[in-house]
């Protein structure tokens, strides 16, 4: 007996294929929703955060918080436990988490070109405009997810044991082809494939430990041997290697740890690679050169900053992200800083807002403080002074968050 993993683009008859396959094989269906619910139940991660890790877009602060990497490790741990047994049909984005080494899981890709999919969507009763919108969103999501995991396009045939495309016209044909292949000896569970599933579990545990300490790197596990590939340059690689080895070696099941420089080894933005999760700082200013330079300088000081260039962009960012601190200019084209401040404090009062302006008046300062600004600073500002205020604001944010927890 084996298992099956289905990855697909929408409007490829994937629902019919999945349901007919489950009926014919008697296998248990495991969907994205099932895994999301289990991660929420077992690890306490909010469903919305798990969905964002899967479907995107990733947080603008992800390079600093490693939230997507952490949640992906939780997803991998849950999927790995199910992949260790047989008789499963994994369906959706989560199927991409199962590595090729887990050979008793038959990987199936179901993809088709836009014109065929659009024709099917319209036949199902959707308008062409609605269908195109759904296709664009789903294609962007699965494309981003597969690129994040494998650095390949989602419709790359090399990711799958069976790649179904235009040559399969009906769900019945697709199901028949899958059934013919999942019974082959090469797909049956074996000691090697069972070990690969166990390696997947260990890999997920290693990734969780590393992400919790602010490390993001390639992890490969084989029978208790762990290989870590570092893709950021550090001042003292020997020290980092020693720290990583000590951290990972404590995990149950780890027999040996090796640390190597990865293929993408490059200079890091961090000083001596401290690997601590920094305050998330959203910078809002229409002076693009100024705010980009400020962002770079803050990043070198271990602040996780992201620049946007007007009030509308700032509020759009807050739909999906919650920075710890916002540094906000008052005078901008379109929406003014005071309105941005008022709307931020109304929707996400825990975000501490520092006004940084070159054109403010005493009356505007009073208005900003009345609306809940944390501080009011004038340009030009000394970077040391600004970071001190950011630290104070971040402390208040952390205190507020702890009180609400």
| Burial call 311-328: b when 16+ CB within 10 Å, e when fewer | bebbbebbeebbbbbbbb
- Say what the pLDDT of residue 1 is: 72
Domain with CATH 3.40.50.2300 in the chain: 280-404
Res 151 pLDDT > 60: yes
* Helices and strands in the chain: count of H runs, count of E runs: 15, 13
Q: Which conformational region is residue 285 in: left (phi greater than 0), alpha (psi within -120 to 50 degrees), or beta?
A: beta
Res 389 pLDDT > 90: yes
- Say what the pLDDT of residue 326 is: 97
Res 341 pLDDT > 50: yes
Give the integer Cα–Cα distance in Å for 69 and 307: 22
- Say what the pLDDT of residue 267 is: 45
Beta strands in 188-322 (DSSP E): 218-222, 225-233, 256-267, 280-284, 304-308
Domain with CATH 3.30.300 in the chain: 213-273
- Say what the pLDDT of residue 274 is: 44
pLDDT tens, position by position, 238-289: 888 999 999 999 999 999 999 998 776 654 444 344 445 678 999 999 999 9
Q: What is the mean pLDDT of residues 127-153?
A: 96
- Say what the pLDDT of residue 264 is: 65
Please list, in sequence order, all residues whose beta carbon lies within 8 angstroms of the beta carbon of residue 193, skipping any fewer than 6 positions away.
101, 102, 103, 104, 105
- Say what the pLDDT of residue 44 is: 93
Please list, in sequence order, all residues whose beta carbon lies within 8 angstroms of the beta carbon of residue 201, skipping any fewer than 6 positions away.
77, 80, 81, 84
Could you tell me which of 182, 162, 188, 159 has the C-alpha nearest to residue 108?
Answer: 162
Secondary structure letter of residue 250 according to DSSP: T
371 by Cβ neighbours in 10 Å (0-12 / 13-18 / 19+) ranks as: middle
pTM equals 0.84
- Say what the pLDDT of residue 65 is: 86
**Helix ranges restricted to H, 262-377:** 288-300, 311-320, 337-347, 362-370
- Say what the pLDDT of residue 273 is: 40
Residue at token pair 């995990």 = 251
Give the integer Cα–Cα distance in Å for 145 and 154: 8
| Token code pair at residue 4 | 């099956």
Q: What percent of the chain has pLDDT over 90?
A: 75
- Say what the pLDDT of residue 57 is: 86
- Say what the pLDDT of residue 211 is: 85
Calculate the alpha carbon distances from 175 to 20, 169, 383 in Å: 7, 11, 63
Res 343 pLDDT > 60: yes
Classify domain 213-273 by CATH number.
3.30.300
pLDDT bracket for residue 167 (50, 70, 90): low
Domain with CATH 3.40.50.300 in the chain: 3-187
Res 59 pLDDT > 50: yes
- Would you say the C-alpha torsion 203, 208, 213, 217 has a positive or negative sign? positive
- Say what the pLDDT of residue 212 is: 82
Average pLDDT over the chain reads 90
Classify domain 280-404 by CATH number.
3.40.50.2300
Classify domain 3-187 by CATH number.
3.40.50.300
Q: Is the peptide bond before 57 cis (omega within 30 degrees of 0)?
A: yes
Neighbours of 130 (CB within 10 A): 12
Calculate the alpha carbon distances from 334 to 116, 146, 285, 327 in Å: 43, 38, 12, 18
Q: What is the mean pLDDT of residues 107-122?
A: 94
pLDDT tens, position by position, 325-339: 999 999 999 999 999
- Say what the pLDDT of residue 270 is: 40
- Say what the pLDDT of residue 52 is: 94
Res 403 pLDDT > 80: no
Res 37 pLDDT > 90: yes
């Amino acid at each position: 007996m084996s298992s099956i993993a289905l990855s697909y683009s929408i409007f490829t008859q994937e629902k019919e294929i999945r349901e007919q396959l489950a009926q014919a094989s008697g296998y248990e269906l495991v969907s994205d929703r099932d895994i999301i619910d289990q991660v929420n139940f077992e690890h306490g991660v909010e469903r919305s955060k798990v969905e964002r890790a899967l479907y995107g877009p990733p947080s603008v602060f992800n390079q600093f918080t490693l939230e997507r990497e952490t949640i992906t490790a939780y997803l991998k741990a849950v999927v790995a436990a199910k992949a260790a047994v047989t008789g499963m049909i994994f369906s959706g984005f989560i199927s991409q988490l199962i590595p090729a080494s887990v050979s008793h899981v038959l990987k199936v890709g179901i993809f088709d070109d836009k014109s065929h999919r659009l024709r099917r969507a319209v036949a199902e009763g959707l308008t062409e405009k609605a269908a195109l919108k759904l296709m664009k969103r789903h294609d962007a999501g699965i494309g981003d997810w597969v690129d994040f995991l494998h650095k390949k396009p989602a419709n790359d045939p090399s990711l799958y044991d069976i790649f179904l495309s235009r040559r399969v016209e009906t769900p019945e044909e697709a199901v028949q082809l899958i059934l013919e292949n999942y019974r082959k000896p090469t797909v049956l569970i074996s000691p090697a494939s069972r070990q690969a599933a166990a390696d997947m579990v260990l890999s997920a545990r290693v990734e969780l430990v590393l992400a919790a300490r602010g490390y993001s790197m390639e992890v490969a596990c084989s029978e208790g041997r762990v290989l870590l590939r570092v893709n950021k340059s550090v001042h003292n690689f020997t020290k980092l290697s020693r720290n990583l080895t000590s951290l990972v070696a404590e995990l149950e099941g780890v027999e040996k740890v090796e640390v190597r420089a990865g293929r993408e080894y490059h200079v890091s933005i961090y000083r001596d690679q401290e690997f601590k999760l920094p305050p998330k700082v959203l910078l809002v200013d229409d002076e693009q050169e100024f705010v980009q330079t400020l962002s770079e300088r803050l990043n070198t000081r271990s602040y996780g900053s992201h620049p946007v260039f007007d009030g509308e962009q700032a509020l759009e960012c807050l739909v999906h992200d919650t920075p710890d601190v916002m540094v906000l200019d008052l005078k901008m084209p379109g929406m003014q800083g005071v309105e941005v401040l008022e709307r931020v404090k109304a929707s996400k009062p825990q975000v501490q807002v520092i006004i940084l302006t070159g054109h403010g008046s005493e009356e505007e300062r009073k208005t900003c403080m009345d609306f809940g600004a944390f501080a009011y600073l004038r340009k030009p500002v000394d970077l040391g002074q600004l970071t001190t205020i950011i630290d104070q604001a971040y402390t208040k944010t952390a205190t507020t968050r702890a009180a609400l927890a």
